[in-house]
Structure 1
Amino acid sequence: MKALILGAALLVPGAAFAVPQVSAPPAAAAPATVPQRVVFPSVDEAGTELVGYLYAPVGVQGPAPAVVLMHGRAGAYSSLADGVYDASTLSMRHRFWAEYWAARGYYAIIVDGFGPRGYPGGFGRFSYDERPAEVNEVTVRPLDAYGALKYLRTLPGVDDDRVGLMGWSNGGSATLSAMADDKPGDMRRLGFRAAISMYPACGLHNRFARTGYNTYAPVRVFMGTDDEEVSHDRCRDLIRTAEARGHDVEFVSYRGATHSFDDPGRRRQSVAANARATADVRERLGAFFDEALAPRTP
């Protein structure tokens, strides 16, 4: 599949589909459900005890699929947390997506990888070179994602063959690194079935400069052309090159959308391009995981 660019229209070979004009969605309400706070180890060398917020699926009989959610550089919590870091202060965006997946019948776990390492409030913009090695998005945070995967597979309600990964910004970079086909074992059976990366930074510490970026499972990347924090074109080129080598990857570009375009708060959603991108991505992501995480055929 080719990289897609969305603006006034969705461009695909041979057709154009209008993207509906949508008003900015209202700010998210208080959590409809209170997640369960859980702890589990990362698979990093230190076995760091991570904190997770687990949302249960709605209306599911029998084993359900699951999604691991990886926060960005600002951490899992609201900027208004004021020193309180728990389920009540999870950011609006993380709450929205966890509840979105739970409503579709998935377990969803928000992984706090910064708080247990002493950085619950995350990091500011343009602080990249100052961040400690223990939160590195290429060498450490993917191990947090696999710790969450391992934990989910211990839960009796989770279908352990149907787990996906989703991350934003720095967590989106961790998602790309986690899905790289550079790991021992049959990751198509041991790893995540599919992944979604939202506006990642795609330099990835030059990890894949020599070998190229290759994935072991389907990956979809979503970015705005007006992203003010990371390079849209660098990610587009990374994913297009992987696609040209035959990997099941896709880059979806939203014309005029910014970084964090899917944040449901009024500031981001007051930008018309962000509102259009948000409406579209909510449809796309659900359809993608519903297909990619479906039970395997015998």
Structure 2
Amino acid sequence: MEVIPIPSVTLTDQEFLSGREDGKPVTVAGELRLPRNGTDRLPLVILLHASGGIGSSITDWEEYFLSLGVATFVIDSFSGRGIVNTINDQAQLGRLAQTEDAYRAIATLSKHPRIDPNRIMLMGFSRGGQNALYASLSRFQKMHAQPGTQFAAFVAFYPDCTSTYLEDEDVVGKPVRIFQGTADNYNPVAPCRAYVERLRTKLHDVQLIEYAGASHFFDARALRQPQQLSQAQTTRNCRTVEVENGLLVDATTKQPFSYSDACIERGTTIAYDENAAASSKEAVGGIVRAVLKP
């Protein structure tokens, strides 16, 4: 195991969408774990955490990937920015900040002597899943990624798909997979269905895998007893659209979006689902074997 600092910047969503790279400098830490000693170059999965930060479910995924012979790198996007979590106050950090961190991380890890730069996958959960999904946009890649770096696949668990970005139907030519439960009342599946349908008209390699009756965080074993997050902010009834100059507006009011908008609600459920967890793990394992070839 090795802790690696990643120089990044903190950007608002408007700054990110405008292509700016002059945000407040920040160093985010990441933990690299290798499945074995040696000198060979290994495939890698970079993991982006949810609004609650790094939890036990990410540790479970690390162990799984390591068992497949794949290295893992978990980025802590909060601690370096003085954030504990964003569950009750999502305005603390731009929703696309983790995409910037992911692009910075692949640039750093691609130069690591034990990592194969051509076999790096991005995977995220909830807030991190939103970033793992939209990191696939060609426009974001051109604006923010280091030339010559490219993820081999993008895996998003229960992401927020309520935002429509300019040119968001133009994604890089790599597999995109979304995993979501039909009972998710945090990030409902319907907006992701609509987005995937738009992407499919462009013949992209994108799939949405749905699990009937599963809730948010269906893969987290620590949530065998469902939890109610009474103050958690959710955009489940919001729709935001990017207009000129990288501005996100509320699709209903046509005014700049903020977390004080009427569409923002509080109160969500998070719960483990054994069948969905097992099925999604098998599916992700299939992606790893097909794309990363450990």
Q: Structure 1-normalised TM-score?
A: 0.73
Distance (whole Å) between structure 2 residues aligned to residue 274 and residue 266 of structure 1: 9
Does residue 112 (structure 1) correspond to residue 76 (structure 2)? The answer is yes
Q: Deviations over 1:54-80 (max 9, x none)?
A: 11124777211001100011112xxxx
1:48 aligns with 2:26: yes
Query: How far apart are the structure 2 equivalents of 1:181 and 1:96?
Result: 31
Q: Is 1:287 matched with 2:286?
A: yes
Deviation string 1:184-213 (CA, Å, 9 cap, x unpaired) is 299995210101000000123x324xx343
Root mean square deviation of aligned Cα: 2.6
| 1:228 matched to 2:185 | yes
8 Å contact 1:179–1:195 — kept in the other structure?
Answer: yes
**Separation in 2, partners of 1:266, 1:229:** 15
1:210-249 pair list within 5 angstroms = 211-216=167-172, 217-249=174-206
CA contact (8 A) 1:240 1:250 kept: no
Residue number in structure 2 paired with 1:136: 94
1:256 equivalent among 202, 207, 213 = 213
CA 1:266–1:169 in structure 2 vs 1: closer, same or farther (change >3 Å)? closer
Q: Judging changes above 3 Å, is the alpha-carbon distance between structure 1 residues 222 and 54 closer, same or farther for their aligned structure 2 residues?
A: same
Q: Which one is further off, 260-269 or 279-288?
A: 260-269
Aligned to 1:9: none
Of the three residues 49, 61, 74, the one matched with 1:97 is 61
Give the superposition deviation at 1:107.
1.3
Whether the 8 Å CA contact 2:222–2:272 is kept in 1: the answer is no
Match for 2:217: what amino acid?
Answer: S
Match of 1:207 among 158, 165, 183: 165
Secondary structure at 1:42 match in 2: strand
What is the DSSP-based 3-state SS (H/G/I as helix, E as strand, rest coil) of the residue aligned with 1:251? strand
Q: Which residue of structure 2 aligns with residue 198 of structure 1? A: 157
Q: Kindly indicate whether residue 137 of structure 2 is the aligned counterpart of residue 180 of structure 1.
A: yes
TM-aligned CA distance change 1:268 to 1:60, over 3 Å? farther
Tell me, in whole angstroms, the C-alpha distance in 1 between the residues paired with 2:147 and 2:210: 27
The structure with the largest strand share of the pair is 2
Could you report, residue by residue, the CA deviation over 1:217-271 in whole angstroms, capped at 9, with x for unpaired residues?
2110000000020121001110121012111100000000000000021526899
Residues 80-130 of structure 1, C-alpha deviations (whole Å, 9 max, x = no match): xxxxxxxxxxx21111111211121111011001111110x21225x33xx
Match of 2:273, SS state, is helix
Structure 1 residue aligned with 2:87 = 124
Question: 2:272 and 2:220 mapped to 1: Cα distance?
Answer: 13
Deviation at 1:37, TM superposition (A): 2.4
In 1: Cα distance, 2:36 partner to 2:193 partner: 35
Distance in 1 between residues matched to 2:50 and 2:41, nearest whole Å: 29
**Cα contact 1:58–1:104 (8 A) shared by 2:** no
SS of structure 2 residue aligned to 1:39 = strand
- Greater RCO structure (CA 8 Å; 6+ sep): 1
Secondary structure of the 2:220 match is coil
Query: Which amino acid is the alignment partner of residue 64 of structure 1?
Result: L
Q: How many equivalent residue pairs?
A: 237
Q: Could you tell me whether the CA contact under 8 Å between 2:43 and 2:71 is conserved in 1? A: yes
Correspondence for 1:149: 106
What is the alpha-carbon distance in structure 1 between the residues aligned to residue 95 and residue 67 of structure 2?
29
The 5-angstrom pairing of residues 152-167 of structure 1 reads 152-167=109-124
Other structure's SS at 2:138 match: coil
